[in-house]
Amino acid sequence: MSYDYHEPHSLDDALALLTRFGDDGHLMAGGTATVLLMRQGLLRPAHVVSLRTIDGLSGIARTPQGGLRIGAMATHRAVERSDAARGYSPALVDAFASVATVRIRNQATVGGNLAHADPAQDPPPMLAALNATITVRSPRGERTEAVETLAVDHFTTSLSHDEVITSVLLPPILPGTREVYLKFLPQTADDYATVSVAATLRFADDATVADVRIVLGAVGPTTIRAKRVEDALRGARPTPERIRDAAALVRDEVDPLDDLRGSADYKREMARVWTERALAALTR
Amino acid sequence: MTGVAEATTSILREPEYRIEGRDKVTGAARFAADIVRPGMLHAAYVTSPFPHARVVSVDLTRARAMPGVRAVLTGAETKPQRLGRRLQDWPLLAWDRVLFIGDRVAVVAADTVEIAAAAAAAVDVEYEELPAILDPEAALAPEAPVLHPDAAGYAYLGGGTRPTVPHPNVQGHGIREHGDVDAGFAASHRVYEHTFTVARTHQSYLEPRASLVWLEGDRIRVVTTNKAPFALRQHLSVSLGIPESRIVVDAGHIGGDFGGKGLSIDEFVLYHLARVTGRPVRAVTRYADELQATNTRHAARIILRTGVDPDGRILAHTSRVIFDGGAYAAGKPVATLMPGDAMLTLAGYRVPAARVEAMAVYTNQVPAGHSRAPGQPQNAFAAESHMDLIARDLGIDAFALRERNVVRPGDVDVTGQPWHGTDGAALLAKLRSASRYDDRTANIRSVGAKGIGVGIALGVRHVGRGRASMVLRVTASGHVELHTGVSDQGGGAHTVFQRIVASELGVPLEQVAVIRGTTDAVPNDPGVGGSRVTPVQGSAALAAARALKKRLGDRELEEVGALEVIGEAAQETHEASMYAYALVAEVDPDTCKVRIRQATLVADVGTVINPVALRGQLEGGFVFGLGQAVMEDLRVEDGRVVTANLGDYKIPTIADVPPLTVELLTEDPGPGPFGAKSAGELANPAVGAAVANAVHAACGVRVMSLPVTAEKIWRESRRSGS
């Protein structure tokens, strides 16, 4: 395994390198996923372009409007320990704190995690449930995209090779909103989820559900938005019966695979159980 | 010198400091993969992608042309040499057929690891796929292809001849009978038959195999992670046809073993590479290869049949145990060519009549070898699940059924021999009180707690056997040096020896140094394994100290000048001890995830020499057993290990470990030094059954296979509607 390693000092330099190398180049943030893929021979770039020497990509701060902006190079651990992030949403902190071990979280980055597009990762469902968007830079300028639509398949995003995620923007959370992240680990505490559920729910003044967003991890080629479950709850009073009936709809929304963390049958049923538990937690 | 008795008790009472602890914590300890030699080359292998294939051709042209490549060898150059601990059936490099995915076809020595790997990838091998036998039952079919047609020519080490087998695809086979089995069944009130299966698992030591071989004049120098260096010297000698006197094996710190480090598979070809290149050559196994191509614990299928009287007393027992031995038997050191306790199917009970049959079978799977208490996790899971099922059907409390049947000294057990060991009744009584079994079960009943249950299981392990000797030297300054061939694989062997010698001589610990020697510098040693170190090598250390005391007479150590004695010990008799668990499990009614809330272990260990290490062995044994009970599964699909990294092959992390209460039985002395017994393999085998039994008590679902996963419980509860 031999490659050239580049440490540009500005985003423009990084973009220039990516443009020059085309398909021979690969962007690296924390490297926790990239290095594993390279060691397994699944990724063989001729050039690795690191983002770690570029300043200004790792801040975490509340926005004037009450949202949260997270630099793409912020580590999971930084989010986990950030007062700004905790003040914005404890459930967001839970999702980042659920990833692997502290050694990994000290290295893995928010942007790298999204670009890796592993459907079993913890942060993407929570970010999608919170309606986060990413800012993307390329030689053509800047654009934004919803986290929910970023991944298009297993380990595949809508990003082109010369695009770099620079930050994640989370909008203000409206009053009356609750959030939760639940990760089901049937075997060991140190594992990818068998299923995970991120959800946000906002009550109207009349105790009906004004809005709800439910996003599942590890049960499809990408994170899965449970829109039918959401529709069954929006405008309704979330009684235990209604939650149970609504959660059952998730079975037809997920698309799990048989793998080491469970059969498709089991995961489908666990998606129902954990969707119900997430909704119960939000309406308790 | 202070009084011996006083020193003995005081030293053994104090928690020990590990002799090697400081070096390991500071990073000063050097492991085999840390050792380099000038001009050293690196080895990489070309391995089979097929579980069974004929090697049609091997083209080395591209690989040999690569800069930095110093040698490429194939089976054509090493044939007919094979390796193995007892039966040498594993070719150094395959020359005609490959028998599992990962079987080696060629080896490269190159200037760097990267060049070696690239050259190995550039070797072009043409294979002709053959039908693979992936299931032991299929291997036993009369018309099954014979995987080792040349078995008659294989070397069988250790004297004697290889036991005959009922089918050419059988590695080892045993059948044993005592009492009148048919009459026992005829007299039985009920007869129960159950079939259990156990997954293949890996030892999961932290340090992968590593070895370095070079030639020094007439001598072959071997640095290795093998835990039995004298045995490896013998294996090398027989395989390579070189006298043992020319081979020097150096096994230093070993980074974990759990039974897996007795098999070496690299040192043999490294010798050939060193010979043709004239340079030192090293191999460090990638962890993926550890999981795919070394020696796993045997997967097993176990059928138990037991007849009981109306009170649940065992009258007769038969069993049939089939172990998946994989492509080679090379990993098994015992004469039977089965896992050590393959035939111990209803251990710990009075069994008046039994017929036990067990076998290890060749398949085209990853080879199976030894792993902490070989054969026992499989058999203990089956036996203790079986006993629980019998108790349930008879409506007898699981504890009471065991109390009625548990073995006491003098009783005949499943081996047909009188039991020499722990009083099982005393052990169970201690478990009943230590685990608060009566309170807990009554409490669960009274509050109607659904999803919580207590499971119990007991286990038996022999105290290690063998012969060992050590040299004790007094230096001019009156210090004592114990020279041993034992490498410490993490168990604390050297600290045990130091404490034994210091206790017996009545000198401070600092006055006793333990020096590990290479095979040319110390007396022959049987190596680490089989729960041997404390009772056997520890006894040799004690014998050496006693011999020294005798030579000293009334003189002080400082007065005698340089002096040397040898201590020898042999532990030949069969002695055993017992342990038992009570485990409280909670099963989530929706997900069927199991949470162990609390565990109690009672273990008969005899005299304690290293209190901290003993606790480490028992707690570690529990966690090791827990991993294999609830999560570990070296999963194979079409002959390929699909859990080929430690991200997918899951072992417990500390967050998975429940509170554990350990109670020791120390009154009954064992055959080891000062009355010690063994502990290294005492705690792990019975955990699987304790979990399965607790799960059954908690939610009414019986899982008949290991590991006991949430999904298995879920599936079974759906099937049975419970």
Pair of tokens at residue B63:
């690989």
Q: How large is the average pLDDT for residues B120-126? A: 98
The CATH code of the domain that includes B447 is: 3.30.365.10
Which residues sit opposite A28 in a β-bridge? Answer: A50
Residue of B nearest to A190 (CA): B653
Question: What pLDDT digit, counting tens, does each position of B43-85 carry?
Answer: 999 999 999 999 999 999 999 999 999 999 999 999 999 999 9
Question: What is the spatial distance between Cα A127 and Cα A115, in angstroms, rounded to a whole number?
Answer: 13
On the question of pLDDT at B5 being above 80, the answer is no
Residue limits of CATH 3.30.465.10 in chain A:
60-170
Phi and psi at B297, nearest 5°, equal -75, 145
**Together in a domain, B565 and B582:** no
Res B722: pLDDT: 55
- Contacts of residue A187 in chain B, CB cutoff 8 Å? 630-631, 650, 709-710
- Phi and psi at B636, nearest 5°, equal -125, 130
Give the residue range(s) of CATH 3.30.43.10 domains in chain A: 4-50
- Give the residue from A166, A172, A138, A169 showing the smallest Cα distance to A58: A166
Q: Calculate how close chain B gets to A3, using CA atoms only, in Å.
A: 13
Q: Tell me what pLDDT residue B446 has.
A: 87
Instruction: Render the burial of A10-37: b for 16+ CB within 10 Å, e for the rest.
Output: ebeebbebbeebeeebbbbbbbbbbeee
Cβ–Cβ < 8 Å for B334, B235: no
Is B11 a domain residue?
Answer: yes
Domain boundaries, position B566 = 4-30+464-571
Q: Closest chain B residue to A271 measured between Cα atoms? A: B591
- A273/chain B closest Cα distance in angstroms: 7
- Which of B113, B114, B287, B590 is best to mutate for the A interface (most A CBs within 10 A)? B590
> How many angstroms separate the CA atoms of A160 and A158, rounded?
7
Is B447 in the same domain as B581?
yes
Q: Is residue B105 part of a domain?
A: no
> Is A3 in CB contact (< 8 Å) with chain B?
no
- Asked if A2 is an interface residue toward chain B (Cβ–Cβ < 8 A), one would say yes
Distance from the Cα of A270 to chain B's closest Cα (Å) equals 7
Q: Would the pLDDT of B175 be above 70?
A: yes
**Chain A neighbors of B709, CB-CB under 8 A:** 186-187
Res. A210: pLDDT tops 70: yes
pLDDT at B240 exceeding the cut of 90: yes
How long a stretch of residues is chain A? 284
Residue that has been written with the tokens 């607790």 in this structure: B694
Beta strands in A65-147 (DSSP E): 68-71, 133-138, 141-146
DSSP state string for A238-260? --HHHHHHHHHGGGGT-----BT
At B80-112, the pLDDT tens digits run 999 999 999 999 999 999 999 999 999 999 999
Contacts of B642 in chain A (CB under 8 A): 260
pTM assigned to the model: 0.96
Q: What's the CATH architecture for A178-283? A: 2-Layer Sandwich (3.30)
Q: Token digits for B134? A: 């992936």
Residue B1 — very low, low, confident or very high, per pLDDT cuts 50/70/90? very low
Give the integer Cα–Cα distance in Å for B51 and B324.
14
Task: Using a CB–CB cutoff of 8 Å, tell me whether A263 touches chain B.
Answer: yes
What was the pLDDT predicted at B9? 61
The DSSP element (H or E) to which B116 belongs, if any, is helix B113-121
pLDDT band at A1 (very low <50, low <70, confident <90, very high): low
Q: Cα–Cα–Cα angle for B182, B184, B189, nearest 5°?
A: 120
Average pLDDT over residues B426-450: 92
Whether A184 has a pLDDT exceeding 60, the answer reads yes
Predicted pLDDT of residue B623: 98
CB nearest to A187's CB, from B590, B642, B650: B650
Chain B contact residues (CB < 8 Å to A): 114, 590-593, 630-631, 635, 642-643, 648, 650-653, 655-656, 709-711, 714-715
Residue A265, pLDDT > 90, answer yes
- Residue B711: which of A1, A266, A273 has the nearest Cβ? A266
- Residue B2 pLDDT > 50, yes or no? no
The 3-class secondary structure across B398-416, one letter per residue, is: HHHHHHHHECCCCCECCCC
A1 to chain B nearest CA, in Å? 7
Q: How many CB atoms lie within 10 A of CB B616?
A: 16
Q: Can you give the pLDDT at residue B449?
A: 75
Q: Tell me, yes or no, whether B433 and B485 share the same domain.
A: no
- Helix, strand or coil for residue B392? helix
- Do residues B553 and B684 both lie within one domain? no
For chain B, the average pLDDT equals 96
- Is residue B172 within 8 Å of B227, Cβ to Cβ? no
Return all residues near B198 (Cβ < 8 A) that are at least 6 apart: B299, B300, B301, B302, B377, B378, B381, B382, B688, B705, B706
Domain boundary among B571, B603, B628: B571
Residue B71 lies in a domain: no
CA–CA separation, B150 and B168 (whole Å):
10
- Write down the number of H helices and E strands in chain A: 12, 14
Average pLDDT, chain A: 97
CB B603 within 8 A of CB B683: yes
Strand partners for B91: B82
Q: Is B166 exposed, middle or buried (0-12, 13-18, 19+ CB in 10 A)?
A: exposed
Chain B residues near residue A266 by CB distance under 8 angstroms:
711, 714-715
Rounded mean pLDDT, B480-500: 96
Please check whether residue B563 is in contact with residue B548, taking contact to mean a CB–CB distance below 8 angstroms: yes
> What is the total count of domains within chain B?
2
Q: Are residues B452 and B480 in the same domain?
A: no
| Domain endpoint, select from B512, B542, B571 | B571
Could you tell me if residue B249 is inside a domain? no
CATH code at A4-50:
3.30.43.10
B496 with B453, same domain?
no
Interface check for A280 against chain B (CB to CB < 8 A): the answer is no
| Minimal CA separation from B54 to chain A, in Å | 27
Q: Give the distance from residue A266's alpha carbon to the nearest chain B alpha carbon, in angstroms.
A: 7
- Find the closest chain B residue to A260 by CA distance: B648
**Section B257-267 average pLDDT:** 97
The pLDDT tens digits for B620-645 are 999 999 999 999 999 999 999 999 99
Q: Which of B591, B643, B715 sits opposite A186 (nearest CB)?
A: B591
Closest-CA residue of A relative to B633 is A260
Closest CA relative to residue B525, chosen from B156, B249, B237? B249
- pLDDT, position B8: 55
* Chain Cα centroid distance, residue B548: 34
pLDDT over 60 (residue B477): yes
Residue B80, preceding peptide bond in cis (omega within 30° of 0): yes
Per-residue pLDDT for B247 more than 80? Answer: yes
User: Same domain for B642 and B706?
Assistant: yes
Question: Measured between CB atoms, which of A2, A188, A263 is closest to B650?
Answer: A188
The alpha-carbon radius of gyration of chain B (Å, integer) is: 26
The sheet carrying B705-706 orders its strands as: B170-178, B354-362, B314-326, B299-308, B190-198, B705-706
Q: Is A256 on the interface with B (CB under 8 A)?
A: no
Note whether A260 contacts B: Cβ–Cβ < 8 A: yes
Closest CA of chain A from B656, distance in Å: 6
Kind and range of the H or E element at A6?
strand A4-6
> Nearest CA to CA, how far is A57 from chain B (Å)?
30
Q: Which of A266, A267, A272, A274 to mutate to test the interface with B (most CBs of B within 10 A)?
A: A266
Give B569's pLDDT tier (boundaries 50, 70, 90): very high
3 state DSSP class of B256: coil
- List of chain A residues whose C-beta atoms are within 8 Å of the C-beta of residue B655: 188-190
Residue B441 lies in a domain: yes
- Residue of A271, A107, A76 whose CA lies nearest to A193: A271
Indicate whether B559 and B700 sit together in one domain: no
- CA–CA separation, B3 vs B11, rounded Å? 12
| A260 with B642: Cβ contact below 8 A | yes
- DSSP for B672-708, please give it: SGGGB---TTTSSTTHHHHHHHHHHHHHS----EES-
Q: Which positions ≥6 away from A42 have C-beta within 8 Å? A: none
- Please indicate, yes or no, whether residues B470 and B537 belong to a single structural domain of this protein: yes
Cβ atoms within 10 Å, residue B366: 29
B704 in a structural domain: yes
How much is the ipTM here?
Answer: 0.96
Return d(Cα B209, Cα B699) in angstroms, integer: 42
Chain center to CA of B229: 17
Q: Please indicate, yes or no, whether residues B590 and B717 belong to a single structural domain of this protein.
A: yes
Those residues whose C-beta lies under 8 Å from the C-beta of residue B48, and which sit 6 or more positions away, are B94, B98, B100, B101, B102, B103, B104, B105, B125, B127
Backbone angles phi, psi at A228, to 5 degrees: -70, -35
Domain A60-170 sits in CATH 1.10.540.10? no
**Three-class DSSP category at B239:** helix
Report the residue of chain B nearest A195, measured CA to CA. B591
Q: Is the same domain home to B486 and B567?
A: yes
pLDDT in tens, B520-549: 999 999 999 999 999 999 999 999 999 999
Residues A187, B590: C-beta atoms closer than 8 Å: no
Last residue of a domain, one of B520, B552, B571: B571
The Cα–Cα gap between A16 and A38 comes to 23
Q: Which residues of chain A does CATH 3.30.390.50 include?
A: 178-283
- Residues with Cβ within 8 Å of B538's Cβ and at least 6 positions away in sequence, in order, are B496, B497, B500, B609, B672, B673, B676
Q: How many CB pairs under 8 A join A and B?
A: 43
Please indicate, yes or no, whether residues B672 and B591 belong to a single structural domain of this protein.
yes
Q: Does A42 touch chain B (CB under 8 A)?
A: no
